[in-house]
């Protein structure tokens, strides 16, 4: 009996002693935190994708609570809605940002961009890009080893095994920008997200001269400038041999799509304009020559190198 | 184009060695010890080894096929090595189902649970062995008498270490030549120190292992035993008899040469390997001399396995160009 | 026998195919492309334009700053373009294209075969001549030689080490050069000794070239050259500058930014030394070099004296063409060479050989799981832990990588060569090293005092 009693006593004493010690230690090392941080963190999506620039949602929540002006902070995943909710909870002004979607700007599918060699090294875009041109002759195109896929936390980007090019699932994409950072060729861009995933963009970033681009890839932008000429909204710029459509200025009028001789301008979520442009264009001087069909005939395009195309456009402007 | 150009970064050459070839060398190195146990224990040696290898390979194959998916890894022979080593750690007359349980624990629990080859923190064969030792202590510690006609029962049926522990014999009583050639009771593969040594030399010659771990383990064991003998007021004979006894008895050789040198669970740098080896040697001797079990090799190796990542983290090689002396 | 202290591997050297083939001159190409960046440092600046007539040996591009090198025309003819052309990696690079018309040399170049030993020039004059001739390290690193010979203040050169190791498997261009042009080499050593004001000169040769060791020793004794011919135990990467210095002097070059001169050593490749001889004694700029073309399936492996800018395809043709099927054509040897995608790309100053691999040799081994065998750690000549740094690089843990001395890596490839699991260790290490070096440079730039 005494054994039992003493055991119970010792153990209870030990327990109480430990509890007291733990209590004081907990008091001493208590970290005072703004309870709102927890709340804000709950309102964030919790993906910890790093799209906001912080390591995780906790860091973002910290910053949202700490800063009075939160206009520079934006969660691309939660989007405007989440930001509005958080702002109203904290009594701050929510930043306005329109939705965006990651866009892979390369149309060099296997059929249009012949493989010239086989890469036998580690399957990583960063490594292949640091070493050489890639499996095709185009030094600017998608390598297809999927660094972007690795970077994506939302399973929104995949490399299509048939085309060898990364493709974005616009429904899943949160525009966090991780793939943009991961792509060593800087092919992926965050572009304005239209309803129904409509989009018009130049699916090529090749800075090579037209003839060189043409040789490497039949879907490349040769920088001929026809698209820029028909654009009524000044949305298209030709820089170092490649056209770029500013998604902020573009109104999805689709005129440029029909102009492109190589089919480098991609149209998504909409039907193309009728092939014979009947509606009077914004510019009265309609192209004198027969407009190129969007279904580009490669043979035609090869016969007409970029230089010639450029000269033509200059002449027409006169 | 008639040619397809293959492109990759340097180096464009690879040594002929592969995981499989290394494992094959280990198996070759185990052949002499197996031969001795076959002579000493007869057909039982074949029976236990075959069951152990077959069940290890089967467990790995099934787990890889139905749980992991992906490429089958059995062909790298590592499961075969584990099977042989597990068999070497068992008494020759053990029941077949105990061997199978050991294999399931070794491969299924100790290896594949962590992700398969290269990821296991503990030596699979030893985990299997220790599990069996705790689960089936009677079967695991009753060793059959060697069937060889030349065998003279000097240890009263026990292993030399057990006999020493129970004070049935003194270290000086043992016939070192018998112990060297495997004429003693014990686990199947641990008995023939000479054969194991030959395997070790083969592996060092084929550059499968480096000398660091075996030398550190055996050296520290011998040194420890020497000092113990010295402290016990040992006379000149005991000063070499005790170290020699401990090096030859039990699993010292098998452990030092084949178990402690397991790639996955040992440190990466030569300096780390020596620290690891000394740790094993010292812990083994402490268990043997003052512990409850007569043999401590398995426990010592498993304990040091746990420390290996820490050694990797803190023991760095001297980098080229960081000369200590001018 | 001497060798370097840490790590190393023993790949089969496969020199047997070409080491008995004497050097022969390749027919002059009709057209050459000469890249402006053939060396470490700033690319040279073209001083000719389209339509200009040039003579063989005429300066066509001038060094841009100190850390750069002159480039001379390897043939006589007309400049047809100064434009971007494809290089061996399929990328575009600035090159001067010259169409050949005959082979008319600059008049001041002495083309006789007679060996001129007398040299009374001052060190500064020698270095100026080397600089003018556009000589760079011909072992592959292409470090401008005049920079190497300009010993910085506070340092003193004690050893001149001539790198005749040629540890890279397959290649035999240095081997043949040392054998056939031993006397020129020894005069080159004397000139370099004079330029550096050093007493001790050592030629390091691996003992898989006993013919070279014997012939150089004989020539040195006959000609009264004060130079030691040091046989070295065969081990890769002995030809690495740091490894060679350690093998010969026992001194270890400190990690970057440590330089060989900090331990009193200057290392010069054997072919480069012959080029130095030609530049100083014969006024001949670096316009041609010996290129080995070899491979298991190559019909006629050769050592070809080739003008710079010659398309690699010409050499391949001369050696009997490529084998059928999958091939890997590598500019350099198998351990450090770069695989090519474009055979029209030119021979450059650092191209000591072209090695060709076919069939299964052209492919890497299939990687499997790391078994932590520690062979990479044992093989690393810089005593790094490749298994660890490649893993950290994969996880992009740059700070840890810096702590693990990733910048010490010399990219010799021993780790990947030796890995039984066939893991592409060096791929990750190389990428990690590049990133960490970038971070270090950025930090240095940020910390530099702003003016």
What mean pLDDT comes out for the span A253-271?
89
- Tell me which residues of chain A, numbers 127 to 146, contact chain B at a CB-CB cutoff of 8 Å: 127, 131-132, 135
> What token pair was written down for B143?
């060793």
B127 against A285, higher pLDDT = B127
> What token pair was written down for A277?
């442009």
Strand partners, A118: B6
Q: How far are the Cα atoms of A54, A189, A251, C327 from residue A175, in angstroms, in the given order?
A: 15, 9, 21, 42
Predicted confidence (pLDDT) at residue B34 exceeds the cutoff of 50 = yes
pLDDT at residue C177 in the model: 95
> What token pair was written down for B227?
């000092």
> Helix B124-135 vs helix B297-314: angle between axes, to the nearest 10 degrees?
140
Residues from chain A that touch C326, judged by Cβ atoms under 8 A, are 118
Interface-testing mutation among A120, A123, A145, with chain B (most B C-beta atoms within 10 A) = A120
Measure in Å the smallest separation between the Cα of A214 and chain B Cα atoms: 20
Strand partners, C338: C331
Interface membership of B313 toward C (CB under 8 Å): no
Q: Comparing C-alpha atoms, which of A32, B273, A62, B101 is closest to residue C377?
A: B273
pLDDT per residue over C68-101, tens digit each?
999 999 999 999 999 988 888 888 899 999 999 9
Strand partners, A160: A165
Q: Say if residues A300 and A261 touch (Cβ distance below 8 Å).
A: yes
pLDDT per residue over B212-260, tens digit each?
999 999 999 999 999 998 888 767 777 888 888 899 888 899 999 999 9
Residues from chain A that touch B12, judged by Cβ atoms under 8 A, are none
Q: Say if residues B294 and B288 touch (Cβ distance below 8 Å).
A: yes
Most confidently modeled of A303-312, B278-287, C140-149? Answer: B278-287
- H-type helices in C63-172, by residue range? 123-132, 145-149
pLDDT at residue B156 in the model: 59
Q: Comparing C-alpha atoms, which of B19, B77, B22, B15 is closest to residue B209?
A: B22
What mean pLDDT comes out for the span C284-302?
94
B8/C357 touch (CB, cutoff 8 Å), yes or no: no
C449 against C208, higher pLDDT = C208
pLDDT per residue over B149-174, tens digit each?
777 666 656 788 888 888 777 777 77
**CA nearest A123 in B: which residue?**
B8
Q: Say if residues C100 and C92 touch (Cβ distance below 8 Å).
A: no
**Whole-angstrom distance, CA of residue C158 vs CA of residue C250:** 13
Q: Say if residues A256 and A200 touch (Cβ distance below 8 Å).
A: yes
A92 against C50, higher pLDDT = C50
What mean pLDDT comes out for the span B304-316?
94
C362/B263 touch (CB, cutoff 8 Å), yes or no: no
What mean pLDDT comes out for the span C272-285?
95
pLDDT at residue A312 in the model: 41
A1 against C67, higher pLDDT = C67
**DSSP at C396:** T
What mean pLDDT comes out for the span A287-299?
42
Chain-wide mean pLDDT for chain B?
Answer: 89
C449 against A8, higher pLDDT = A8
pLDDT at residue B192 in the model: 85
Residues from chain B that touch C417, judged by Cβ atoms under 8 A, are 11, 13-15
Tell me the percentage of chain C whose pLDDT exceeds 70: 100
**Whole-angstrom distance, CA of residue C265 vs CA of residue C200:** 10
Task: Report CA C241 to chain centroid distance, whole Å.
Answer: 11
Measure in Å the smallest separation between the Cα of C328 and chain A Cα atoms: 10
What mean pLDDT comes out for the span B193-202?
94
**Whole-angstrom distance, CA of residue B72 vs CA of residue C274:** 55
Strand partners, C330: C339, C355
Beta strands C325-331; B3-7: pairing state? parallel
- Rg for chain A, CA atoms, rounded: 28
> Which residues have a Cβ under 8 Å from the Cβ of A18 and sit 6 or more positions away?
none
Strand partners, B5: C327
Residue B45: HSE in the Cβ half-sphere, 13 Å Cα cutoff: 23
**What pLDDT band is residue B185 in, cutting at 50, 70 and 90?**
confident
Per this entry, what is the length of chain C? 451
Residues from chain B that touch C168, judged by Cβ atoms under 8 A, are none
Q: Annotate A205-230 with three-state secondary structure.
A: CCCCCHHHHHHHCCCCCCCCCHHHHH
**Whole-angstrom distance, CA of residue B243 vs CA of residue B254:** 16
Chain-wide mean pLDDT for chain C?
Answer: 92
**What pLDDT band is residue B18 in, cutting at 50, 70 and 90?**
very high
Measure in Å the smallest separation between the Cα of A185 and chain C Cα atoms: 13
Residues from chain A that touch B13, judged by Cβ atoms under 8 A, are none
pLDDT per residue over A172-207, tens digit each?
888 888 899 999 999 999 998 888 888 999 999 999
Sign of CA dihedral A230, A232, A236, A238: positive
pLDDT at residue A295 in the model: 42
**Whole-angstrom distance, CA of residue A240 vs CA of residue A136:** 21
pLDDT at residue B153 in the model: 66
A317 against A87, higher pLDDT = A87
Interface membership of B9 toward A (CB under 8 Å): yes
**Whole-angstrom distance, CA of residue A164 vs CA of residue A123:** 13
Looking up tokens 């402290």 gives: B231
Residues from chain C that touch B19, judged by Cβ atoms under 8 A, are 368, 371, 420-421
**DSSP at C68:** -
What mean pLDDT comes out for the span B298-325?
88
Q: Annotate chain B with three-state secondary structure.
A: CCEEEEECCCCCCCCCCCHHHHHHHHHHHHHHHHHHHHHHHCHHHHHHHHHHHHHHHHHHHHHHHHHHCCCCCHHHCHHHHHHHHHHHCCCCCCCHHHHHHHHHHHHHHHHHHHCCCCCCCCCHHHHHHHHHHHHCHHHHHCCCCCCCCCCCCCCCCCCHHHHHHCCCCCHHHCCHHHHHHCCCCCCCCCCCHHHHHHHHHHHHHCCCCCCHHHHHHHHHHHHHHHHHHHHCCCCHHHHHHHHHHHHHCCCHHHHHHHHCCCCCCCCCCHHHHHHHHHHHHHHHHHHHHHCCCCCCHHHHHHHHHHHHHHHHHHCCCCCCCCCCCC
Number of CB atoms found within 10 A of residue C109's CB: 17
pLDDT at residue B46 in the model: 93
Predicted confidence (pLDDT) at residue A313 exceeds the cutoff of 60 = no
Predicted confidence (pLDDT) at residue B131 exceeds the cutoff of 80 = yes
pTM: 0.86
Interface membership of B3 toward C (CB under 8 Å): yes
Predicted confidence (pLDDT) at residue B261 exceeds the cutoff of 90 = yes
Interface membership of B6 toward A (CB under 8 Å): yes
B316/C382 touch (CB, cutoff 8 Å), yes or no: no
DSSP A115-127: B-SEE-S-S-HHH
């Amino acid at each position: 009996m005494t054994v039992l009693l003493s055991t119970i006593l010792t153990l209870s004493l030990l327990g109480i002693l430990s509890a007291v010690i733990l209590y004081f230690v907990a008091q001493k090392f208590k970290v005072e935190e703004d309870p709102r941080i927890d709340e804000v963190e709950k309102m964030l999506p919790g993906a910890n994708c790093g799209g906001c620039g912080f390591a995780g949602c906790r860091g973002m929540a910290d910053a949202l609570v700490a800063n009075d002006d939160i206009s520079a902070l934006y969660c691309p995943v939660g989007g405007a809605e989440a930001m509005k909710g958080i702002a109203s909870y904290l009594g701050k002004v929510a930043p306005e940002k329109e939705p965006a979607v990651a866009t892979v700007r390369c149309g060099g599918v296997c059929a249009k961009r012949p493989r010239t060699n086989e890469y036998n090294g580690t399957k990583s875009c960063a490594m292949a890009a640091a070493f050489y041109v890639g499996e095709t002759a185009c030094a600017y195109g998608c390598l297809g080893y999927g660094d972007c896929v690795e970077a994506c936390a939302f399973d929104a980007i995949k490399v299509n095994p048939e085309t060898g090019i990364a493709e974005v699932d616009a429904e899943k994409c949160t525009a966090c920008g991780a793939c943009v950072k991961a792509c060593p060729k800087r092919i992926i861009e965050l572009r304005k997200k239209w309803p129904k995933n409509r989009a018009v963009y130049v699916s090529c970033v090749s800075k090579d001269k037209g003839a060189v681009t043409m040789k490497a890839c039949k879907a490349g932008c040769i920088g001929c400038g026809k698209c820029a000429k028909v654009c009524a909204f000044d949305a298209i710029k030709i820089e170092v041999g490649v056209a770029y459509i500013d998604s902020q200025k573009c109104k999805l009028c689709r005129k440029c799509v029909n102009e492109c001789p190589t089919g480098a301008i991609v149209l998504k979520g909409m039907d193309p304009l009728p092939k014979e442009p009947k509606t009077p264009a914004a510019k009265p001087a309609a192209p004198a020559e027969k407009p190129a069909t969007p279904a580009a005939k490669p043979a035609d395009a090869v016969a007409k190198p970029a230089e010639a195309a450029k000269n033509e456009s200059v002449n027409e402007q006169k | 184009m008639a040619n397809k150009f293959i492109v990759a970064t340097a180096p464009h050459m690879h040594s002929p060695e592969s995981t499989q070839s290394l494992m094959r060398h280990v198996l070759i190195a185990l052949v002499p010890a197996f031969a001795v146990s076959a002579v000493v224990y007869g057909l039982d040696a074949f029976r236990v080894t075959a069951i152990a290898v077959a069940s290890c390979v089967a467990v790995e194959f099934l787990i890889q096929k139905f749980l992991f998916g992906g490429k089958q890894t059995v062909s790298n022979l590592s499961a075969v090595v584990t099977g042989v080593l597990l068999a070497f750690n068992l008494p020759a007359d053990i029941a077949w189902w105990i061997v199978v349980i050991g294999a399931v624990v070794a491969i299924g629990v100790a290896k594949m649970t962590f992700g398969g080859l290269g990821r296991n923190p503990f030596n699979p064969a030893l985990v299997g062995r220790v599990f069996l030792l705790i689960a089936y202590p009677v079967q695991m510690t009753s060793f059959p008498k060697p069937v060889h006609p030349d065998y003279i029962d000097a240890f009263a049926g026990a292993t030399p270490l057990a006999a020493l522990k129970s004070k049935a014999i003194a270290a000086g009583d043992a016939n070192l030549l018998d112990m060297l050639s495997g004429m003693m009771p014990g686990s199947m593969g641990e008995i023939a120190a000479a054969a194991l040594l030959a395997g070790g030399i083969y592996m060092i010659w084929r550059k499968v292992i480096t000398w660091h771990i075996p030398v550190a383990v055996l050296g520290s064991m011998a040194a420890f035993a020497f000092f113990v003998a010295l402290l016990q007021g040992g006379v000149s004979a005991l000063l070499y008899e005790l170290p020699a006894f401990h090096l030859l008895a039990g699993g010292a050789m098998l452990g030092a040469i084949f178990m402690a040198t397991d790639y996955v669970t040992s440190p990466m740098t030569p300096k780390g390997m020596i620290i690891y080896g000394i740790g094993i040697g010292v812990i083994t001797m402490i268990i043997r001399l003052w512990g409850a079990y007569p043999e401590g090799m398995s426990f010592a190796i498993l304990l040091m396995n746990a420390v290996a990542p820490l050694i990797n983290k803190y023991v760095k090689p001297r980098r080229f160009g960081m000369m200590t002396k001018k | 026998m001497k060798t370097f202290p840490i790590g190393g591997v023993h790949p089969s050297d496969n020199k047997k195919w070409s080491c008995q083939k004497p050097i022969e001159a390749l027919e002059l190409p009709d057209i050459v492309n000469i890249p402006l960046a053939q060396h470490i440092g700033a690319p040279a600046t073209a001083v000719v334009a389209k339509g200009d007539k040039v003579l063989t040996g005429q300066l066509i591009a001038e060094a841009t700053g100190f850390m750069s090198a002159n480039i001379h025309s390897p043939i006589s003819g007309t400049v047809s373009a100064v434009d971007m052309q494809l290089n061996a990696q399929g990328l575009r690079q600035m090159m001067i294209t010259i169409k050949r018309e005959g082979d008319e040399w600059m008049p001041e170049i002495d083309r006789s075969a007679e060996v001129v030993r007398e040299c009374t020039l001052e060190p500064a004059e020698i270095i100026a001549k080397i600089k003018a001739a556009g000589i760079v390290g011909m072992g592959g690193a292409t470090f401008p030689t005049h920079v190497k010979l300009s010993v910085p203040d506070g340092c003193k050169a004690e050893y001149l080490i001539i790198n005749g190791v040629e540890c890279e498997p397959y290649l035999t261009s240095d081997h043949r050069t040392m054998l056939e042009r031993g006397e020129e080499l020894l005069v080159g050593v004397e000139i370099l000794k004079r330029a550096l004001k050093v007493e001790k000169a050592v030629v390091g040769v691996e003992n898989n070239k006993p013919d070279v060791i014997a012939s150089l020793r004989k020539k040195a004794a006959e000609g009264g050259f004060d130079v030691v011919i040091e046989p070295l135990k065969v081990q890769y990467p002995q030809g690495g500058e740091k490894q060679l210095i350690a093998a010969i002097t026992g001194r270890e070059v400190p990690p970057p930014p440590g330089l060989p001169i900090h331990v009193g050593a200057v290392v010069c490749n054997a072919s480069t030394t012959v080029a130095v001889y030609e530049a100083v004694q014969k006024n001949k700029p670096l316009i041609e070099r010996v290129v080995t073309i070899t491979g298991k399936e190559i019909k006629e492996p050769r050592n070809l004296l080739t003008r710079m800018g010659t398309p690699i395809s010409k050499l391949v043709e001369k050696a009997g063409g490529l084998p059928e099927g999958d091939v890997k054509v590598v500019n350099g040897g198998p351990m450090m060479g770069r695989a090519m995608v474009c055979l029209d790309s030119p021979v450059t100053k650092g191209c000591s050989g072209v090695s060709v691999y076919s069939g299964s040799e052209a492919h890497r081994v299939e990687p499997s799981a790391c078994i932590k065998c520690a062979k990479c750690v044992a093989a690393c000549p810089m005593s790094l832990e490749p298994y660890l740094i490649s893993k950290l690089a994969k996880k992009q843990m740059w700070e840890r990588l810096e702590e693990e001395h990733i910048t010490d890596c010399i990219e010799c490839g021993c780790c990947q060569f030796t890995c039984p699991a066939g893991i592409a260790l060096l791929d990750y290490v190389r990428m990690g090293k590049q990133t960490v070096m970038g971070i270090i440079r950025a930090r240095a730039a940020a910390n530099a005092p702003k003016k």
